[in-house]
Amino acid sequence: MTRLRYLLILIALGVFAILPVFLSGNLLNAIIKMMISALFALAFTLAMGQAGMLSFGHAAYYGLGAFAAVHAMRFVEAGAFSFPTPLIPLAGAAVGFLFGLLFGWFATQRSGVYFSMVTLALAELLYTLAPTWNSLFGGESGISTIRGASWGISFGDDAHVYYLTLFWVTLATWCLWAFTRTPLGRLALALRDNEHRVRFLGFNTHMARTLIFALSCLFTGVAGALLAIATEAANYTAFSSKASADVVLQTFIGGAGTFFGPALGAASMTFFARVTSDLTRSWLLYQGLLFVLVMLFVPDGIGGLIAEHSKKVKKGGYKALVLPYLLCLVTGLLLLAGVVFLVESTHILLSDGYIAKTKSSGGAAVPFSFFGQDFNPRSWVTWSIPIGLLLAGAALMPAAMKVTGRAWLHATQSAPAQGETA
């Protein structure tokens, strides 16, 4: 099992290593962003998933890491000192760690919702302060810089940035993973479960939580620095509560209870945003729907779902699951198609261009085209399509859920017994 895992990791690394050969600049850029957000989520999970500290202000350390990197690069650019570009993430790490210690020392005096509120306040403080503080944060427009050449590499090419990011993300991920196996990493889990008891076992829990929080901020700072290197800029919006919330969302969609889940969640959500924002103006609506649905129906996230399957489904059990899952997929697609039809046609019908057209046509129905098809907005045939799709989906849903539930029992039946004997 573990050997299989190592093999998988090696294969994945190999694939990542040769990607730039096949991919264009734009896609490569998308993958860079995905890797960075994956690292951000992993670093966040160190505080949240492992030590139970729900930080609402992790964007603070992400932004600080980015600004640290930009300033370091500007110093190098100005010739103030020389520092190799590949090591710039260390600046982000240092600043992230220092501010993590400082802010964390305050925040960890509280726990639960109060901890979250302190972290939120600290991040919002930075967010509101940064645009007025020109010398440090470059005001509302932020600061930009350029990557210097070092070690004989120009860093002008996307592939160079890609490999730099890949290296740091891999290294940081390994560190984060190794950390979970150390005494402090195990202590983090105990703190998450029951901080009160840890105190009576001889541990200074305030110190422990501060340190763990700061370590999480360290890796967050690395992620921020990598972003700054990739974009050659940093802007105060990096501190926004939206950015803080994004990482929480991505982590939970990936599954905060697993190690790799958050990375998966972050990468896929970044990809989702990239793709859908090109396709539709309402992409945030779809994203919001996705968040709500995941929280309601997959509360343990993607990672949790995978872990559940690999733990519980018995040998050959997947066969029973294929058809029910297909049925679920069809149901989901029907509902999705209905929603997309309604949202996108509303977009078209309410757009200025369309309204102008109806005016000039003197009140006659103007067909609108959509997916290469013309539809008459005044005809019931048009609206029966989305409504039919939604009704069909809704009708299939109970059946799909029932069948899946039964198949799940089938696929896992012997699992509880196994658990008992283990």
Partner 1 sequence: MTAIAPAPTASAGSGSDVQIPSSPVLELRDLRKSFGETKIIRGVNLAVKRGERHALIGPNGAGKSTLFNLISGHYVPTSGEVVLNGKQIGGLQPHVINRLGLSRSFQITNLFPRLSVAENLRISVMGQHGYRFSMFRPVAGLTAVTAEVDQFLEKIRLTRRRDDNVGDLAYSEQRALEIGMSLATNPEILLLDEPTAGMSLEETAYMVELIRTVTEGKTLLVVEHDMSVVFGLCDQISVLVYGEVIATGEPAAVRNNPKVQEAYLGEEVAT
Partner 2 sequence: MEYLVVSTLNGVVHGLLLFMVSAGLTLIFGMMGVLNFSHAWFYMLGAYIGFTCTRTIGFWPGIILAPLLVGALGVFVERYMLRRVHKYGHAHELLLTFGLAFIIEEVIKLFYGDFPVSYQMPSYMRFAAFTIFDTNYPFYRLFIGGVAGLIFVGLYLLLTRTRIGIIVRAATFRPTTVEALGHNLPVIFMGVFAAGAALAGLAGAVAGAFFPTSPNMATDFGTLVFVVTVVGGLGSVEGALIASLMIGLFISFSVGLNWALADLFGIVGLGPWAQAFGGILTLKLSTIANSMPFLLMLFILLVRPAGLMGDRQ
Q: CA distances (Å), 36 to each of 47, 249, 357, 379, in order?
A: 18, 15, 45, 48
At closest approach, how far in Å is the CB of 184 from partner 1? 4
**What's the token pair of residue 77?**
């650019």
Between CA 304 and CA 67 the distance in angstroms is: 34
- Judged by beta carbon distances under 5 to 8 A according to partner kind, the member of partner 1, partner 2, none in contact with residue 249 is partner 2
Between CA 85 and CA 75 the distance in angstroms is: 11
**Contact letters (x/-) for partner 2, 78-117, by CB under 8 A?**
----------------------------x--xx-xxx-xx
Out of 19, 175, 343, 392, point to the residue binding partner 2 (CB under 8 A).
Answer: 343
Between CA 1 and CA 47 the distance in angstroms is: 28
Ramachandran area for residue 149 (φ above 0: left; ψ -120 to 50: alpha; else beta)? beta
Which of positions 304-333 make contact with partner 2 (CB under 8 A)?
A: none
Between CA 109 and CA 205 the distance in angstroms is: 10
Secondary structure of residue 369 in the 3-state scheme: strand
Query: How many binding residues for partner 1 (CB under 8 A)?
Result: 28
Helix axes 241-254, 25-45, angle to 10 degrees: 80
Between CA 120 and CA 250 the distance in angstroms is: 18
Examine residue 405 and tell whether it contacts partner 2 (CB under 8 A). Answer: no
- Judged by beta carbon distances under 5 to 8 A according to partner kind, the member of partner 1, partner 2, none in contact with residue 10 is none
Examine residue 135 and tell whether it contacts partner 2 (CB under 8 A). Answer: yes
Question: Given the complex with partner 1, which of 9 and 387 has the nearer CB atom?
Answer: 9
At closest approach, how far in Å is the CB of 213 from partner 1? 13
Examine residue 204 and tell whether it contacts partner 1 (CB under 8 A). Answer: yes
At closest approach, how far in Å is the CB of 355 from partner 1? 57
Out of 117, 121, 190, 336, point to the residue binding partner 1 (CB under 8 A).
Answer: 190
Nearest residue to 226 (alpha-carbon basis) of 154, 131, 174, 160: 160
Examine residue 6 and tell whether it contacts partner 1 (CB under 8 A). Answer: no
Examine residue 295 and tell whether it contacts partner 2 (CB under 8 A). Answer: yes
Out of 11, 17, 80, 132, point to the residue binding partner 2 (CB under 8 A).
Answer: 132
Question: Given the complex with partner 1, which of 134 and 182 has the nearer CB atom?
Answer: 182
At closest approach, how far in Å is the CB of 304 from partner 1? 14
Examine residue 411 and tell whether it contacts partner 1 (CB under 8 A). Answer: no
| Residue 233 β-bridge partners | 144
Alpha-helical runs (H) found in 180-240: 183-199, 205-231
* CA 309 to chain centroid: 22
Out of 91, 234, 256, 264, point to the residue binding partner 2 (CB under 8 A).
Answer: 256
Between CA 39 and CA 63 the distance in angstroms is: 14
Ramachandran area for residue 232 (φ above 0: left; ψ -120 to 50: alpha; else beta)? left
Between CA 406 and CA 308 the distance in angstroms is: 16
Out of 8, 11, 87, 129, point to the residue binding partner 2 (CB under 8 A).
Answer: 129
**Contact letters (x/-) for partner 1, 170-189, by CB under 8 A?**
--------xx-xxxxxxx-x
Out of 4, 18, 21, 201, point to the residue binding partner 1 (CB under 8 A).
Answer: 201
Stretch that binds partner 1, among 60-68, 128-136, 193-201, 398-406 (CB under 8 A): 193-201
List residues near partner 1 by CB under 8 A.
178-179, 181-187, 189-190, 192-194, 196-205, 207-208, 211, 215
